[in-house]
Amino acid sequence: MNATPSPTVGSFSTNSSRPSLLDRVEHFLPKLVLAPTFVGALIFIYGFILWTGYLSFTPSRMLPNYEFAGWVQYQALFDNERWWVALKNLALFGGLFIFGCLAIGLTLAILLDQKIRGEGFIRSVYLYPMALSFVVTGTAWKWILNPGLGIEKLVRDFGFPDFTFDWLTNSDMSIYTVVIAGVWQSSGFIMAMFLAGLRGVDDSIIKAAQVDGASLPTIYWRIIIPSLRPVFFSSVMILSHIAIKSFDLVMALTGGGPGFSSDTPATFMYTFSFTRNQIGMGAASAMMMLMIVAAVVVPFMYSELRSSRRG
């Protein structure tokens, strides 16, 4: 006589295959928690990018005007001498800022990698400027570079009355003061990134090179530094982002002056959008800044992806 399964057992096996209410809550809870952030980012980042893009094609001035005007604002933007000065300053500041931070940061990281005494204290000193805001940095360097208050006055008080250091008030040199302040603040952070990369290099590779008779500079130049390519990539991305959006540093240090000699696209956009009440041109300059970011980031990311696939 064959035994038939009891309904209780059958119902238990059927119910056990279905997800319980607790399982469903655990499945949807992360999505519910992340949903407000996702919606907020979608609206306040990408939504406003689209809105700014549309405003750049309108004759908006003090208030938004949604009448489509074509490429008028972009034509006016590229006919504006101040915009070309801002682009030239961005290229000059960005190139010197990135190169200076990479060179100083890598040099400091290599020196600290020798495991010198007091490394922790020295590392903290180099990293301290990064804890400051660009407004504080700009204000401090404005005092230091002020001809009547800072370096020039100090050197003259030491008995050199003919010494001049008037970069802050010189329209041809003012952008270099922004470079000095930016490199001073960001080099320590880049040093920390390179130092972390150096500490991740396998010691056996260095010992094998030393056994083969390679000197320490040769080991760093031919073996260690080439292995830091991911650190270089990350550093260039971060520094490029800082350079393009360096609004607060310029405004605190030079205010875009003298005149508009130290303007950058960020200060240009602010001036025309909120001071001169030309929202359309400000939106056009903002979209051009977005294109500059894309022109910098996309090739680097494409190159990195290709290299990672090959590796």
> Helix 174-199 and helix 134-144: axis angle, to 10°?
130
C-beta separation of 165 from 172 below 8 A: no
- Please list the helix, strand and coil fractions of the chain in percent, rounded to the nearest 5, in that order: 75, 0, 25
Q: Is the peptide bond before 217 cis (omega within 30 degrees of 0)?
A: no
pLDDT band, residue 13 (cuts 50/70/90): very low
Please indicate whether residue 93 or residue 299 has the higher confidence score (pLDDT): 93
Rounded average pLDDT over 184-200: 91
Tell the burial category of 15 from Cβ atoms under 10 Å away from its Cβ (0-12, 13-18, 19+): exposed
Q: What is the mean pLDDT of the chain?
A: 86
pLDDT band, residue 273 (cuts 50/70/90): confident
Tokens standing for residue 228: 């830091």
pLDDT band, residue 12 (cuts 50/70/90): very low
Percent of the residues in the chain that have a pLDDT greater than 90, as a whole number = 38
- Which residue's structure tokens are 């150096």? 198
3-state secondary structure 36-58: HHHHHHHHHHHHHHHHHHHHCCC
Query: Given a cut of 70, is residue 7 above it in pLDDT?
Result: no
Please indicate whether residue 19 or residue 207 has the higher confidence score (pLDDT): 207
pLDDT digits (tens, 9 = 90+) for 25-82: 777 788 888 888 888 888 888 898 999 999 999 999 888 888 999 999 999 999 999 9
Rounded average pLDDT over 256-270: 90
Most confident of the following: 41-45, 102-106, 237-241: 102-106
- pTM of this structure: 0.82
